[in-house]
Structure 1
C-alpha cells in the first residue's frame, strides 16, 4: 500500500489529493452500499497467519469468508468481514505486531494496475502522485495525500471508513511498513531518511520500528487518526529504472476506467464519530474533518443532516463517552481529563459533564 505535515510556512507546495472517500467521481453520497475492499491484501494476511500456525480455514469461516473468493484477481470483501478477520487474527496469534508482518509482505506488484503504473513512472514523484490519484483502487477504507516541494515530500493516510481501534492500528502499521518497503523498491533498495508521525501511542512492539531504515518515528503525534511520512529532498530527482511511457499510459487509462466504476459506501456520521473517538487530545474540528473528505464544512453538515445527525451533537456525544471512560479508568485526575478532552480548565469540564450526566465527574467516579 502506498503512500501530511509540512506546516503553514510551506504555502508554495504543489498539492495533489484526488483520493476519493465516501463519494464517487460524481460527488454523490453513497450511504447505502457497504464499503468493499480488495481481497488480495487479506489473502496475504491469511498467508502470514498460516506461517504463524493459525487454523486459517477456521478463521475465514468465523469471518464468513470463502477461501475461493480470496483467490479471484478482482475479489473484494465487505469491510465488516475484514473487521472480524483482523480482530480474530489478533486474538488467535497474540501478536500485537501482526500489521507489521503483513505490511512487510506487500510489494508494488501487490497493487495490480496502480502498482504497474507506479513502476512505469518516470520518477518517484510521479509514482507517488499516481498512487494518491488512484489510492481508492488500492484501499478504499483509507485516503492518501501527497504533497511535495523542491526540498521536501510528504505522504499521509487517514481512514475514511469507521472501524474498531484494533482494526485501525492494524491497517496503519501495515501502511507504514508497506510504504517504506515499496519506496525502497522504487528507488533501487534505499529510501531517503524520513520523519514518521503516527497518531497512535507507542506500541509494545515499538522496537520493530527500528527496521524502518533511516526513519525516526514519533508516536501519539496527531490529533486525528492517521500517519504522515516526511522526506527531505526532491523526489523528481529519483528516476525509475523501469520507466516506460507507453506502459504508463495504458496503466493510467485502465486506472481511470476502474475508478469510474468504483463506488465507496458507508455512513458519514459513523466515520465522523470514529475520527472523534480515536483522536488524541483535543478533538478535530468540523472544518478539519471536512478538509479530510475534500468538502466544505457546510457540505459535510448537509450530509450529516441527511443521516439525522449534526457535527455538534456527534462531538458532544463522543466527548461525553470519552469523559466517562477516562473517569471510570481512574488513572487521571479530573484536571488532566479536562485537558485531555480539550477543556480550558477542570471547572468548565465539570459544568459540561454535569449538564450531560446529571451529576459531577467526582460522583460518577465514586459510583463506577
Structure 2
C-alpha cells in the first residue's frame, strides 16, 4: 500500500490507522488485494481527519507505476503499441479499480480515456479517487513511453483543489477543473498523438497471451461470468469505436473463428447479433451523453453513412436517432 510511503511524512502512522479501523494490514500488502468501498471510505475519511494534506490523492497516483497494476500492468507492457496497451487496461480496468469504469477511444489524431465511478461514494472519497486515477494515468503514459509522454489534456469534474499549482507544474499537460456532465463525475484524459504509431519496447506476443488468459480468469472469478457470449460482449464493448471483425477478435483471444462461432452457437447467439446489440447500446449512449452529431456517431460505430445507421437504429428503437436524442438526451443538429 503506497500510502505508507506518503503519510509518515505528515506524522500519520498508517499501520496504526489500519489497526484502529480493524482492516487486514497483511492482506492489503498483496498485489491483488480487494477492500470493500465502505472500508475505503472509512480509511480516507480517517487519514483526512488526521491531517493528511489535500494533495495526498495526487501524490498517491504519481507513485502507482504500471507494474503496480499486477497482471494488467504486465499485459500493458507486453502490448505491441501504446494504443494496444490502453485498450488492454480499458478491457480489464475492473481488476485495477473495481469502483470505476474506463472507456477508451482512439483515432489517428489521438486517444481519449474516460473514467467514471460505478458506485456512489462520499465527496471526500470521490475527489481522492479522481485525483489518484488522474495522476496514475499520467504515470502510466510516462512508464509506457519511457518518459516521453505525449501532450495531454486532463479534465476533472471537481473544483480546482488547494494544491492546483501541482497540476499547473505538470509538463505538457493542460488541466481543467469543474467540468460538468449529465452522466455524473468523471475524469477525461485526451492524448494528442496517434498512439498506434508508438511501439512499446517490452512488447512480447507470448507474454501478452499469458496476461490475457490470466486477466480473463480473474474477471470470471470476480464477476461470476459464466456465459462465453457475455465475455465476448464485454470485450467488444470495452474496445469502443474499433469493433473488431470476427477474425480480428479470434486473433485477440487466441481462438480459431470456428471455435469462437461454436461457443456462441451453443449459447443461442452469433457474433453478428452481439455486435449489433453493442453498437445499439453505444449509439444510445452517444446520442444522450455526447456532443457528436448523428453523422459522426454513425461513422464512429462503423457505418458507411448516416442513412444506414438511421435504418438500423429505427429497427431497434422504433424511432430515428435524432428523435431519440430529442426525447432522451442532448440536442445538436445532425
Measure, in 2, the Cα distance between the counterparts of 1:85 and 1:46. 13
How far has the Cα of 1:70 moved from its partner? 1.5
Q: Quick one: which of 64, 70, 94 aligns to 1:136? A: 94
> 2:20: which partner in 1?
62
| Change over 3 Å in CA distance of 1:85–1:295 after alignment to 2 | farther
Measure, in 1, the Cα distance between the counterparts of 2:3 and 2:15. 13
Measure, in 2, the Cα distance between the counterparts of 1:142 and 1:62. 27
- Identify, as 1 or 2, the structure richer in helix: 2
Q: Quick one: which of 197, 202, 215 aligns to 2:173? A: 215
> 1:166: which partner in 2?
124
- 2:103 partner SS: strand
> 1:176: which partner in 2?
134
The structure with higher relative contact order (CA 8 Å, sep 6+) is 1
- 1:217 partner SS: strand
1:227 aligns with 2:194: no
Q: Quick one: which of 196, 209, 224 aligns to 1:249? A: 209
How far has the Cα of 1:71 moved from its partner? 2.4
> 2:199: which partner in 1?
239
Encode CA deviations 1:210-237: one digit per residue, 9 max, x unaligned. Answer: 2421011111112220110111121011
- 2:111 partner SS: strand
Moved segments of 4+, more than 6 Å: 293-297
How far has the Cα of 1:103 moved from its partner? 0.6
Encode CA deviations 1:61-90: one digit per residue, 9 max, x unaligned. Answer: 233212122123432111111101111111
- 2:50 partner SS: helix
Contact 2:12 2:52 in 1 (8 A): no
Measure, in 2, the Cα distance between the counterparts of 1:199 and 1:175. 13
Measure, in 1, the Cα distance between the counterparts of 2:201 and 2:215. 22
1:156 aligns with 2:134: no
- 1:192 partner SS: coil
What residue ranges of structure 1 are gaps of 5+ in the alignment? 1-42, 265-290, 298-368
1:201 aligns with 2:175: no
Give the TM-score, by structure 1 length.
0.59
Contact 2:3 2:14 in 1 (8 A): no
> 1:71: which partner in 2?
29
> 1:14: which partner in 2?
none
Contact 2:152 2:192 in 1 (8 A): yes
Q: Quick one: which of 54, 62, 66 aligns to 1:96? A: 54
What residue ranges of structure 2 are gaps of 5+ in the alignment? 225-278, 286-334
Contact 2:10 2:52 in 1 (8 A): no
Contact 2:32 2:70 in 1 (8 A): no
Contact 1:122 1:240 in 2 (8 A): yes
- 1:179 partner SS: helix
Measure, in 2, the Cα distance between the counterparts of 1:239 and 1:74. 28
Measure, in 1, the Cα distance between the counterparts of 2:17 and 2:141. 32
Give the TM-score, by structure 2 length.
0.65
Measure, in 2, the Cα distance between the counterparts of 1:96 and 1:178. 17
| Change over 3 Å in CA distance of 1:175–1:74 after alignment to 2 | closer
How far has the Cα of 1:295 moved from its partner? 11
> 1:17: which partner in 2?
none
How far has the Cα of 1:193 moved from its partner? 0.8
> 1:125: which partner in 2?
83
Encode CA deviations 1:158-205: one digit per residue, 9 max, x unaligned. Answer: 101111001001011011111111101101112111111110011111
